[in-house]
Amino acid sequence: MQKKLLTSTILLTFLINSSKIYAYSATVGNNTPIDRMSSINIPITAPVSPIPTPTLMDDASSNLASPADQVVQVQAGNIAPFGGILFAGEKANSLRLKVLELDKYKKLSDSYSMSLSALSSNYESLDRKTRMLEKQNIKLADAVEDASSMSVWKKIGYFALGIGVTVLGGLAVKNAGK
Amino acid sequence: MQYILTILAVVFGGLFYKIKKNRVNTAVLEQEKMKTVFNEIDKNINKNKELLSTEEQKRQKIAEEFDADAKKVVNINDIVDFFNKLK
């Protein structure tokens, strides 16, 4: 049981000034009992070590200024190297999933914003096209009306032209008779 | 007089022809201009449609990636690693 407890313990410490999660400090002493750890059901593949020293992760985060800037894995009975928050592995995983979910929603939100701007641009283009076609339609309708019926000025003009042609014709006939 | 009548007929005929031709030319020019604008609009619409389709695929990929992450079996080292890489 003790071994099981040891293998299923994780300490996640977030610095108050660097983490997104702010909480009260807690320290784990040598003989601090941790009952909640028995509920962990995620597979733990970290090696079990009886040495009571916290394991600092030595990869990407190793260039950080202080160990307190890191998330550290400890086992039951270890002395915590600094004050922080202790999470069970299961809880830490659910927190990880929450962070991933938030990240997903942010990405989705950005994508939807992009789609929305593309759609509104399309709407504006189609609106412009419709307005142009409407204008053209009105122009064509006017042209058809113009072609099918004469305006008052046109009628007056043709009438005057008729009078002129008749008078000139009469004069021509008269002159020809002389 | 006949000369005058002939000249008048030619002048009026030419005038009508000119007016008619101008109207047709203007209409053709307007039509060409509209075609150009419509082509630009259609190009823009197609580009936006492509963007919409890309974004749709991107969203699907995001959802799939998240599902894969949620289903992935992780160990403590992975979790510690994840939080250490978190900015």
Where do the domains of chain B lie? 2-85
pLDDT average, residue stretch B9-20: 88
Can you tell me the distance from the alpha carbon of A55 to that of A177, in angstroms, rounded to the nearest whole number? 132
Note the pLDDT of residue B30.
Answer: 87
B75/A97 Cβ within 8 A = no
Listed residue (A29, A30, A35) closest to A4, CA to CA: A35
For chain A, the domain total comes to: 1
Top residue of B1, B62, B64, B79 to mutate, by most chain A CBs within 10 Å, is B79
- Cβ-nearest to B1 among A96, A114, A172: A172
Note the pLDDT of residue A98.
Answer: 93
What residues 58-87 of chain B have any CB closer than 8 A to a CB of chain A?
58-59, 62-63, 65-66, 69-70, 73-77, 79-86
Domain-located, residue A57: yes
Domain-located, residue A59: yes
| Residue A34, CB-side half-sphere exposure with 13 Å CA sphere | 30
Note the pLDDT of residue B1.
Answer: 72
Q: Which residues of chain A have pLDDT under 70?
A: 1-68, 151
Can you tell me the distance from the alpha carbon of B29 to that of B34, in angstroms, rounded to the nearest whole number? 9
**Higher model confidence: residue B8 or residue B47?**
B47
What interface predicted TM-score (ipTM) does this complex get?
0.74
Per-residue model confidence as pLDDT tens digits over A6-48: 333 333 343 333 333 333 333 333 433 333 333 344 444 444 4
B80/A72 Cβ within 8 A = yes
B44 pLDDT band, cuts 50/70/90, is very high
Note the pLDDT of residue A144.
Answer: 84
Q: Is the pLDDT of residue B7 over 50?
A: yes
- Judging contacts by C-beta atoms under 8 Å, the chain B residues touching residue A136 are 30, 34
Domain-located, residue A105: no
Structural domain including A14 reads 2-90
Q: Are B62 and A108 in contact (CB under 8 A)?
A: yes
Crossing angle of the two packed helices B2-71 and A89-148, in degrees rounded to 10: 170
Domain-located, residue A63: yes
Radius of gyration in angstroms for the set of CA atoms belonging to chain A, rounded to a whole number: 45
